[in-house]
Amino acid sequence: MPDNTTPTHDSAQRLNKFVALALGVSRRQADELIEQGKVTVNGQPAKLGQRVTTTDIIRHDNKPLTAQFHQLILLHKPVGYLCSRASQGGVPTIYELLPTSLHHLKPVGRLDKDSSGLILLTNDGDFAHQMTHPSFHKMKRYLVTLDQPLQPLHRQMINDFGVQLPDGPSRLTLERQHDGDDHRWIVQMSEGRNRQIRRTFAALGYTVTKLHRTDFGNYTLGDIKRGEFQESKLTPSQRLVYRIDT
C-alpha cells in the first residue's frame, strides 16, 4: 500500500505547487516552508518533492490549506489609490475597488498613489516572480506627461546612457506620444524600481505630472475603464467587467 509520499491517484500533484497556490507564494518559497517544517501532510512533516492528492489533509502552521485555482485580475487603477492592503492617512486602497472574494489576491508590482493604469493581481506566486524579477526583462509601457518640454540632450541621455540614481543607473526608452509635443512621452522599461520614472526625470529637473501604465509584459489595459477590472484568463468574448461603487 503506497505511503503519503508516493500517491498513485490521477489527481496527484507536487506539494510545493499546492502550497504555493494556496498561500500565494512562489514554489521556491513553498519549498522553504516545507524545509522549515511548517507544512504537514496528514499530520506528518512534509517532505521536499512530495506529491499529494485531493484526499490528503495539508496544513501550514497547523492551519488547513484548501485547493485554489490560478487567478489573474487586470485592474485599471485610478489616481489616488494605494497598492497595499492597509490604508494610510485615510487614503483608499485598490482593494476597495474589488469584491471581498478577490481580496486574497496580491498585486504584481506597484503603482504609486499618484499614478494610474494597469495593475495585475494574482494568487500565483510563480507568475508574480516571473513578472517582476529583473532577470525576466518584462517590458512595461507608460504614458508620461512632464511639467516642461524635454530637452533633446536630456532625451539622448535617458535613451542612450541612462541617468545615475542613488540605487543605480536608470535607462528608459522614450518616444513622443504626438509629433512635435515634447511634454508627453511613451516610456518603456524592463526594470521596476520604486518610483523609477519619476526619479529619473526629477534628476534632470523635470516633474512628472501624469504617469499612466498601459502595458505589463503581454498584458494590456485595453478598454478596461477606470476603477474596473477583468479576469484575464477568459477569452475576450467571455470576459466580464465589474465595478464596485465607492
C-alpha radius of gyration, the chain, whole number: 22
Please write down the HEC assignment for all residues of the chain: CCCCCCCCCCCCEEHHHHHHHHHCCCHHHHHHHHHCCCEEECCEECCCCCEECCCCCEEECCEECCCCCCCEEEEEECCCCECCCCCECCECEHHHHCCHHHCCCEEECCCCCCCEEEEEEECCHHHHHHHHCHHHCCCEEEEEEECCCCCHHHHHHHHHHCEEECCEEECCEEEECCCCCCCEEEEEECCCCCCHHHHHHHCCCCCEEEEEEEEECCEECCCCCCCEEEECCCCCCCCCEEECCC
Positions marked catalytic: 112
| Residues in the chain, overall count | 246
Residue carrying C-alpha cell 476603477: 227
d(Cα 224, Cα 243) in Å, to the nearest integer?
Answer: 10
